């Protein structure tokens, strides 16, 4: 288990002080794939670098397993760091060494015999799918293959934790998926705890079970991925999710939808979000049979997150206002979250935005 408690990191430069991490408390359980998402400069790398004390916090404590890292002497810290692997956006491979040379280098202070080390390197390269690339130099590898070498190297000392700082940001979407799949396999096979930094909620959606959202040094929201995706509390979280689920694109496109340009005054535009069971209910048709409210679906999307379907519909509800109100109350009672939207026209630009301006879209 990793426990970061009340962490602060402040940098003092010549003219100013930067508070890169502000009072962050996070608990990461064994076997978690914990995502940290935020825009550039949010403090993600600084925060994650405190987990192996590459960055010492100005305040707070860092516990990894049963060790308070700030209490360790240099030798103990070196030992503790071996149990924490790390991979990077630009792979950081040594170009003058072969693939196996790169992995072998990570074993330089290991107590294994030369023969055991070679065996270990072969096993690791096999594990990451590079069994046929031992003697190749990094320059002859694709980005995805280079990251696989990075992963093999990070696993050389049998870490319990793997820190990934934008590990897929330099890769195309297909390669990204294959690397994420590899990480997921390693998580399951080796019970490896993984911490992933990313600026893409898509990455979180793909493999993480927990997520923390960072803004300006602080964690503004954290929790398990399914609840964060279904009930985000923070505007920034909502923004990341809208991008990952393509709702933002849908809303932008819908702004020009003929239905929305010709709405009756009593029509209501709404976003319906639901989890699991609700998706199986013939809810839409019951809105008509129960309340004579008709539903025009303008956009629909279902994501499967850890076997849980999460749905989003953008609809226009038409009918008598009282009945529309009853219909939305009924939906809420069926665990369908209803968010009213409005169509606004400003400076020639049409937008669909939340009515209550609870979220920035």
Ligand X SMILES: Nc1ncnc2c1ncn2[C@@H]1O[C@H](COP(=O)(O)OP(=O)(O)OP(=O)(O)O)[C@@H](O)[C@H]1O
Interaction site with ligand X (CB under 6 A): 11, 13, 18, 20, 38, 40-46, 199
Nearer to ligand X by Cβ, of 2 and 331: the residue is 2
Rounded distance between C-alpha atoms, residue 124 and residue 171, angstroms: 22
Segment interacting with Mg ion (CB under 5 A) among 39-47, 106-114, 268-276, 323-331 = 39-47
Q: Out of ligand X, Mg ion, none, which partner does residue 199 contact, by CB within 5 to 8 A per kind? A: ligand X
Give the residue nearest to Mg ion (CB): 45
- DSSP H helices, the chain, are 44-49, 74-82, 99-105, 114-127, 143-154, 173-190, 201-207, 225-230, 235-244, 247-254, 258-261, 283-291, 321-333
Nearer to ligand X by Cβ, of 145 and 147: the residue is 147
Segment interacting with Mg ion (CB under 5 A) among 38-46, 150-158, 206-214, 292-300 = 38-46
CA atoms within 13 A on the CB side of 31: 3
CB distance 40 to 199 below 8 Å: yes
50 scored as a contact of Mg ion (CB under 5 A): no
Rounded distance between C-alpha atoms, residue 320 and residue 4, angstroms: 53
Rounded distance between C-alpha atoms, residue 73 and residue 234, angstroms: 40
45 scored as a contact of Mg ion (CB under 5 A): yes
Residue 325: CB minimum distance to ligand X, A: 43
Q: Out of ligand X, Mg ion, none, which partner does residue 13 contact, by CB within 5 to 8 A per kind? A: ligand X
How would DSSP label each residue in 268-299? EEEEEEEEGGGGGS-HHHHHHHHH--EEEEEE
Residue 22: CB minimum distance to ligand X, A: 11
145 scored as a contact of Mg ion (CB under 5 A): no
Residue 165: CB minimum distance to Mg ion, A: 6
Nearer to Mg ion by Cβ, of 218 and 326: the residue is 218
Nearer to Mg ion by Cβ, of 45 and 278: the residue is 45
Q: Out of ligand X, Mg ion, none, which partner does residue 319 contact, by CB within 5 to 8 A per kind? A: none
All residues at 6 or more sequence positions from 135 whose CB lies less than 8 Å from its CB, including other chains = 98, 99, 100
Q: Out of Mg ion, ligand X, none, which partner does residue 147 contact, by CB within 5 to 8 A per kind? A: none
Segment interacting with Mg ion (CB under 5 A) among 31-39, 43-51, 318-326, 337-345 = 43-51
Nearer to ligand X by Cβ, of 46 and 176: the residue is 46
Nearer to ligand X by Cβ, of 54 and 177: the residue is 54
Query: For 137, which DSSP code?
Result: -
What length does the chain have?
361
Q: Indicate the SS3 state at residue 346.
A: strand
Terminal C-alpha separation, the chain: 36
Nearer to Mg ion by Cβ, of 45 and 55: the residue is 45
Rounded distance between C-alpha atoms, residue 286 and residue 336, angstroms: 13
Residue 165: CB minimum distance to ligand X, A: 7
Which has the closest alpha carbon to 89: 206, 216, 199? 199
Nearer to Mg ion by Cβ, of 86 and 250: the residue is 86
Residue 168: CB minimum distance to ligand X, A: 13
- Here the tokens at position 245 are 């689920």
Q: Out of Mg ion, ligand X, none, which partner does residue 228 contact, by CB within 5 to 8 A per kind? A: none
168 scored as a contact of Mg ion (CB under 5 A): no
Residue 15: CB minimum distance to ligand X, A: 12
Beta pairing class for 193-198 and 33-37: parallel
Rounded distance between C-alpha atoms, residue 145 and residue 8, angstroms: 36
Applying CB under 5 A, which residues contact Mg ion?
Answer: 45
């Amino acid at each position: 288990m990793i426990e970061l408690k009340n962490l602060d990191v402040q940098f003092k430069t010549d003219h100013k002080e930067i508070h890169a991490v502000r009072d962050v408390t996070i608990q990461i359980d064994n076997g978690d794939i914990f995502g940290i998402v935020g825009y550039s400069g949010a403090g993600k790398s600084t925060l994650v670098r405190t987990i192996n004390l590459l960055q010492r916090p100005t305040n707070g404590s860092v516990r990894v397993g049963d060790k308070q890292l700030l209490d360790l002497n240099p030798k103990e810290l070196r030992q503790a760091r071996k149990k924490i692997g790390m991979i990077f956006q630009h792979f950081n491979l040594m170009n003058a060494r072969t693939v196996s040379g790169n992995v072998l280098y990570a074993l330089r202070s290991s107590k294994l015999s030369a023969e055991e080390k070679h065996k270990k390197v072969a096993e690791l390269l096999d594990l990451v799918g590079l069994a046929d690339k031992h003697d190749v130099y990094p320059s002859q590898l694709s980005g995805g293959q280079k990251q696989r070498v990075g992963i093999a190297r990070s696993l050389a000392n049998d870490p319990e934790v793997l820190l990934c700082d934008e590990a897929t940001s330099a890769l195309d979407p297909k390669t990204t998926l294959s690397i994420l799949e590899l990480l997921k396999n390693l998580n399951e096979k080796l019970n490896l705890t993984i911490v992933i930094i990313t600026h893409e909620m898509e990455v979180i959606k793909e493999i993480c079970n927990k997520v923390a959202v960072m803004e300006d040094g602080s964690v503004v929201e954290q929790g398990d991925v399914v609840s964060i995706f279904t009930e985000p509390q923070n505007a920034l979280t909502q923004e990341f999710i809208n991008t990952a689920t393509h709702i933002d694109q849908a809303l932008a496109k819908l702004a020009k939808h003929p239905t929305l340009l010709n709405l009756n005054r009593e029509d209501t535009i709404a976003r319906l979000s639901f989890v699991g069971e609700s998706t199986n209910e013939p809810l839409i048709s019951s809105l008509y049979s129960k309340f004579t409210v008709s539903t025009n679906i303008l956009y629909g999307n279902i994501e499967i997150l850890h076997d849980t379907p999460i749905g989003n519909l953008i609809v226009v509800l038409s009918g008598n206002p009282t009945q529309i109100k009853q219909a939305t109350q009924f939906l809420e009672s069926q665990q369908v979250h209803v968010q009213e939207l409005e169509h606004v026209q400003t400076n020639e630009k049409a937008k669909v935005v939340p009515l209550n301006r609870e979220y920035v879209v």
